[in-house]
Amino acid sequence: MRVSFKWLREYVDIPVPPAELADRMTMAGVAVEGLQDLGAGIENVFTGRILKIETHPNADKLVVCTVTTGEGEIRQIVTGATNVREGQVVPVAVEGARLAGGLVIKKARLRGVESRGMLCSGQELGLDPAAMPADQAHGIMILPPDTPLGQDIRPVIGLDDVILELDLTPNRGDCLSMLGVAREAAALLGRELRPPVPVVTEIPASIAGRAQVDIAEPDLCRRYVARLFTNIKIGPSPLWMQERLRAAGVRPINNLVDITNYVMIELGQPLHAFDFDTLRDGRIIVRRARENEVLISLDNVERRLTGDMLVIADPGGPVAVAGVMGGLATEVTGKTTSVLLESAYFHPVSVRRTSRALGLRSEASTRFEKGIDPAGCRRAADRAAQLLQQLGAGEICSGVIDNYPVSHTPKTIILRPERAGQVLGVAVSREEAAGILSRLDFGVQDAGGDLLVTVPSHRVDVGLEIDLIEEVARMHGYHRIPATLPSGAATRGARTAEQSLTARVKDVLAQCGLTEVVTYSFTSPVFADRFHLPSGSERRQTLALQNPLSEEQSVMRTMLLPGLVEVLQRNFNRRVTDGAVFEIGRVYFPRDGEPLPEERPALAAAVTGQMPAGWNRPAQVLDFFFLKGVLETLAREIGLDVLHFEPLTGDPSFHPGRTAAVYAGEEKLGVLGELHPDVLESFELPARVTAFELDLASLLTRSGRVPRYQSLPRFPAMDRDLAVVVRKEIPAREVLRIIRKAGGALLSSVRLFDVYQGEQVKEGYRSLAFALKFQAGDRTLTDAEVLAHTAAISAALAKQLGAELRG
């Protein structure tokens, strides 16, 4: 926000220089990022009139101008500007003049013709070409014909001014106006605020019966004010208005457009002017756009609209996108004779969403997005009418359409002075707090020792007692609040059991060689197709975002694996072909009748390639058995009952022959396996990827068993190997179960160490070899005891599984 110091003083007396005001505003939370002295370095530039223009004898692209700066002084100046005409009043830099950028003007000869000075463009005087009228952006600056001659150019075009460049926080939309900044200055300096009071003279012709405003979406348009102007005369705005607009960074266009921009900068209320004769039936309808409805905007671009966008329409269709941009069909042109002026309040979120979707940002949409004063719509329309009348640009019809379906209800908040003192660490008297808030236009009443504060309509950012305390603090002066240590009851922080277990899970997986990653909770709707999820799968029931960053991040994830696979894909594209990553995060599922989703904690990992050798481990292929070992290690380290794995063939995301369901007891925790080749192809991954995804809540619920102390054995163990031949469809887990049960208390451990299928084993069978360890805590076992237990194990395997000992 660019604030003209000269313009600001129209609303409040400022007895301090711009630098001091900037410092005091910054200390009060309205940061002034910089000061710009518009006329700094410009000297000896005066207003002059072009008396005669002649062609240059030696150059086709130069002309020789005879110029006077008053009091009979005549100068000859050579210029290459193409927009000079006899009789124009222009800025003239005489010999010895200094221009913006440090250029010094000297007497010169250009292609043999003497030139005593220079005709100046706006850019040479330090003005932004973008803020100049289109015919002067790249040529000589043209001044009004009645401008006195011989005047210092700086006050004539507003260069005797200092610009305060504000760096506002998003909550201070009220300071996106001259009046809002003046209110802050008045409160800081203890001066009276002088807001403009619009007074207009209306003609007998009334707006009633000629125009109509219907609001179909009162939630998105809380107020719509319309005024009708007739006998419009389009022309340039006066120099004083152009100066102020340029100081604010706005390019003057014509008197009508400049009035709407002037009021927006002055009061913070965006306005829009429609050519009234182009509105069908003189009717305005504020409604949602129909899906794929089309509007050609003022920049002559076809905009395709969606059903969540608010538009201004007439019976024939949309004529503007509410709060963003008008339509070309109702544009005010040089032929316009009647204008319907819009001054409305549009919902900030609606404008922000529409502006982003259409890729259109403007000064108006910026103000609507931050929230404007709904009570200021009528005042802004009347102020524009006053300026129109003052400039002689038209007549004002009597009456105003003020459709106000959702009237503003002022918020009231109780402020406790003692609470303010506790928060700020310094005592603020009740009288001082009341005085500060009153200067900021808050209504203040006594409430039995407390203050009952009414929030003004322009302060949409204030809604709680702590907001009022902030207002008191910044006006009291942050520099006057002493630095103190925080006080209060000290409590010892501690993790919950769930947090401790989650941290332990992360540690164990990292120790196993996996790297933790954090991926977006948003994902693309196509993830379900890429993972070949069936049509009825719960994981296809995604929650769509109302305001997505992009189509690739438009729904909430129901799986962690797509994000992990994308990580491996990005790494693979950068020639990092080995990877082992995991993530702990939440997945989201919609709930019927509930606005918020169900959030489920999940654990997932994905690996590919191989893990290089480390200081304490050899190189290892990252496959199914690696991740199975990781899960078994995790279970042991977090005190979980032994995991077991069942073959799984029905999951379309995983390889049908290399996938298992993961169980703890009878509860299924998730899936472990190689991703299906079709899934890998959809991610353009040529290497195998093994992954698992588990329900973290169930995992943690069954974890946390406290290890029991057991003394070291005093008596030696006896080892035996047992190789049995069983049908290959019998899982090793079932054989282990029977061995443990038949081995009894003396069997201290059993481990599968070899699996063989080949010529020495008949077709359809395989050999499983187990290492058995027998040990007693009170004696040394005999060979006979171990032989009896081994025989019992063999008999149980033969009876229950038809197993045979391998010779």
DSSP state string for 425-471:
TS---HHHHHHHHHHTT-EEEEETTEEEEEPPTT-TT--SHHHHHHH
pLDDT band per the 50, 70, 90 thresholds, residue 807: low
At residue 712's C-alpha, the angle toward residues 711 and 718, to 5°, is 130
Helix, strand, coil percentages, rounded to 5, for the chain? 30, 30, 40
User: Is residue 583 helix, strand or coil?
Assistant: strand
Of 203, 327, 317, the C-alpha closest to 275 is 327
Average pLDDT over residues 118-144: 85
Quick: pLDDT tens for 652-695.
999 998 999 999 988 999 999 999 999 999 999 999 999 999 99
**Which residue has better confidence, 77 or 617?**
77
Lowest model confidence (mean pLDDT) among 287-291, 439-443, 594-598, 696-700 = 594-598
The token pair that represents 300 in the structure block: 């002559």
| Secondary structure of 671-736 as H, E, C letters | EEEEECHHHHHHCCCCCCEEEEEEEHHHHHHCCCCCCCCCCCCCCCCEEEEEEEEEECCCCHHHHH
Give the model's pLDDT for residue 138: 79
Quick: pLDDT tens for 272-304.
999 999 999 999 999 999 999 999 999 899 999
CATH 3.30.70.380 region(s) of the chain?
A: 718-805
Q: If residue 634 lies in a helix (H) or strand (E), which one and from where to where?
A: helix 624-637
CATH 2.60.40.1840 is held by the domain 43-156: no
If 0-12 CB within 10 Å is exposed, 13-18 middle and 19+ buried, where does residue 44 land?
middle
Contact residues for 277 (Cβ-Cβ < 8 A; gap 6+): 336, 337, 338
Average pLDDT over residues 68-72: 85
The token pair that represents 382 in the structure block: 């009347």
The token pair that represents 796 in the structure block: 């149980």
For domain 718-805, give the fold: Alpha-Beta Plaits (3.30.70)
Length of the chain as a residue count: 807
Quick: pLDDT tens for 366-423.
999 999 999 999 999 999 999 999 999 999 999 999 999 988 899 999 999 999 988 8
CB atoms within 10 A of CB 401: 18
CB atoms within 10 A of CB 484: 8
Quick: pLDDT tens for 186-229.
999 999 999 999 999 999 999 999 999 999 999 999 999 999 99
> Can you say whether residue 330 is alpha, beta or left, with left for phi > 0 and alpha for psi between -120 and 50 degrees?
alpha
Cα separation, 582 vs 605, whole angstroms: 4
**Which residue has better confidence, 438 or 536?**
438
Q: If residue 600 lies in a helix (H) or strand (E), which one and from where to where?
A: strand 598-608
Residue 708 predicted with pLDDT over 80? no
Contact 658, 665 (CB under 8 A): no
pLDDT band per the 50, 70, 90 thresholds, residue 502: very high
Cα separation, 331 vs 657, whole angstroms: 68
- Report the mean per-residue pLDDT for the chain: 92
Quick: pLDDT tens for 152-178.
999 998 899 999 999 999 899 999 999
Quick: pLDDT tens for 358-372.
988 889 999 999 999
Give the model's pLDDT for residue 615: 61
Average pLDDT over residues 601-629: 87
Binding site residue list for Mg(2+): 461, 467, 470-471
Strands (E), 526-597: 555-556, 579-589
Residue 490 predicted with pLDDT over 80? no
Q: Which CATH number fits domain 2-38+162-189: 3.30.420.40, 2.60.40.1180, 3.30.56.10, 3.90.470.10?
A: 3.30.56.10
Cα separation, 226 vs 218, whole angstroms: 16
Q: What CATH number has the domain spanning 497-701?
A: 3.30.930.10
Cα separation, 155 vs 353, whole angstroms: 43
Above pLDDT 70, what percent of the chain?
99
Binding site residue list: 461, 467, 470-471
For domain 202-403, give the fold: Phenylalanyl-tRNA Synthetase; Chain B, domain 3 (3.50.40)
Cα separation, 734 vs 722, whole angstroms: 15
CATH 3.30.56.10 region(s) of the chain?
A: 2-38+162-189
> What secondary structure letter does DSSP report for 349?
H
pLDDT band per the 50, 70, 90 thresholds, residue 70: confident
Above pLDDT 90, what percent of the chain?
75
Give the model's pLDDT for residue 134: 75
Average pLDDT over residues 311-326: 95
Give the model's pLDDT for residue 72: 77
Residue 646 predicted with pLDDT over 70? yes
Helices (H) and strands (E) in the chain, counts: 20, 41
